[in-house]
Amino acid sequence: MADGDAAAYRELFVRHWDAVYSSALLLSRSPDIAEDIAQEVFVTLWEKRAQLAQVEKLDAYFFIMARNLLYSRLRKLASQDAYRQYLQDYHHENTHSGAEARAEFRELENAIHAAIRRLPPQQQKAFRMSRFDGMGHEEIAHAMGLSRITVKSYIVQALATLRKILEHYPGLLVLAIATLTRYT
C-alpha cells in the first residue's frame, strides 16, 4: 500500500475497519462520531500511505490515529460556536448584494459538483447517495449490490480525492466541502 496499490489499500481497509471503528467507538461512545473518525483514519492512511512502510505495529498506529483525530474533532467542536460567530460577523461586515451572494454560491456549488464528477463512477454514485440523498451505508450497499465495507471504502476514497481536488480553493469552498464530510 505504501507504493499506492489500491488493492492493498482495500484489503487493509477490509481487515482493519472493524477494529478502527471499535476503537473510535470506545473513545467517543458515539456510533456516528466513531464512523466519521474511522473514515477519517482511512482517508488519512491513504493520504500518508508512503509513511506506512515505517509502521511496525499497525493496530497501535490505528488506535493512536483514531485517538488523535477524535481529540482534534473535540477541539473543533469546542471552537465551532466561536468560528460560526466569526463567519457571521465577517459576512455582516462584508455584506454583498443578494445577486453577488447568489453568484458566489453558484460558483461554489459548481466547483463542488465538478470535483464530484471527476470521481470514478461507483465512488461518485456512493458519495452522492450518502451525502445528497442522505442514505446510510447499508442502504447504499443494498441499492448498489455491494458490501457495506465496499461502500465505506468508496466514500472514504471519494472524500480523500475531493479534499485533494478542492484544497486550492478559497476558505469558503473548504467550508462547503467540510459540510459534505458531516463534521457539523
Over residues 101-125, the pLDDT tens digits come to 567 667 767 777 888 898 999 999 9
Within 13 Å of residue 184, how many CA atoms lie on the same side as its CB?
A: 11
Question: Shortest CA distance to 124 belongs to which of 105, 140, 142, 145?
Answer: 140
Q: Which residues does the chain have with pLDDT short of 50?
A: 171-175, 177-179, 181-184
Residue ranges per structural domain of the chain = 1-95, 97-184
Q: How far apart are CA 33 and CA 21, in angstroms?
A: 10
Query: How far apart, in whole angstroms, are the C-alpha atoms of residue 45 and residue 30?
Result: 22
Query: What's the pLDDT score for residue 145?
Result: 93
pLDDT for position 173: 45
Query: Among residues 48, 83, 46, which one has the least CA distance to residue 179?
Result: 83
Whether 45 and 55 have beta carbons less than 8 Å apart is answered as no
Per CATH, the number for 1-95 is 1.10.1740
What's the CATH number of domain 97-184, 3.50.30.60, 1.10.10.60, 1.10.10.10, 3.40.190.10?
Answer: 1.10.10.10
- Give tens-digit pLDDT for 150-169: 998 898 888 888 877 776 65
